[in-house]
Amino acid sequence: MVEAVQDAGVVVTGAGGGIGAALARRFAAEGARVVVNDLDAERAKAVADEIGGIAVPGDASAIVTEARDALGGTVDVYCANAGLGSGGTEAADEEVWERAWDVNVMAHVRAARALLPAWLERGEGRFVSTVSAAGLLTMIGAAPYSVTKHGAYAFAEWLSLTYRHRGLKVHAICPQGVRTDMLTASGSAGELVLAPTAIDPSDVADALIKGIEENRFLILPHPDVAAYYQARATEPDRWLTNMNHLQQKWESAR
């Protein structure tokens, strides 16, 4: 077991299924006390009952106080996992863009606002952001998702560089395809780009626990993402051309 996780008070948002449920299960298996959050109260309760955790359903943006109370007054690890896989182009409705910003970025900001005063006072705390490889790269056919996941990554990075000397540990998890309802909902773009190398949610949870043990900020459950990220940074035009070829392939197959 990982010492940093044993008996820790952990909150996982969006944990009624998929990656969130896998994170909750793995933290519980490591000996943590886990609050399971989800908008769907029944799903949150089902996972909490399974792992001996505590269900705190509701909007992920507004559950820090209740979760802290449920854990006896202290949150040690907060997993900002709830997210929306919003597809569409620049022409997506304003409501789609606003909702993506609210869930994929601002929920993280609001949680940090609520958590940081206590964490900085005691000199320790751990913030886990489920970002996605789209936050390092991009995703065809999903402008709101890609843009807001870049925002989520940027916020996690900012938190780390600003507060690491004051005891804050931050982890950004950036998987590609994961076998969840979100992958299914991504349609033909997901089938083309993500499905061929998709992994199970438990693999993401394993990668996070290893990243915590090694105290790494950037956690890549798909190792190939590191090479893609490097190519994007060092040869952006070549990378964009290759991505555009993928876009054209997707368009021709639709």
Residues annotated catalytic, as ranges = 145
Give the residue carrying structure tokens 């994170």.
Answer: 23
Q: What is the rounded distance in angstroms from the CA atom of residue 58 to the CA atom of residue 37? A: 7
C-alpha distance from residue 32 to each of 162, 203, 211, 222, 223 (Å): 27, 19, 16, 26, 27
Q: What is the rounded distance in angstroms from the CA atom of residue 131 to the CA atom of residue 60? A: 15
What are phi and psi for residue 132, nearest 5 degrees? Answer: 115, 150
**Residue 148's closest CA among 97, 88, 76, 113?**
97
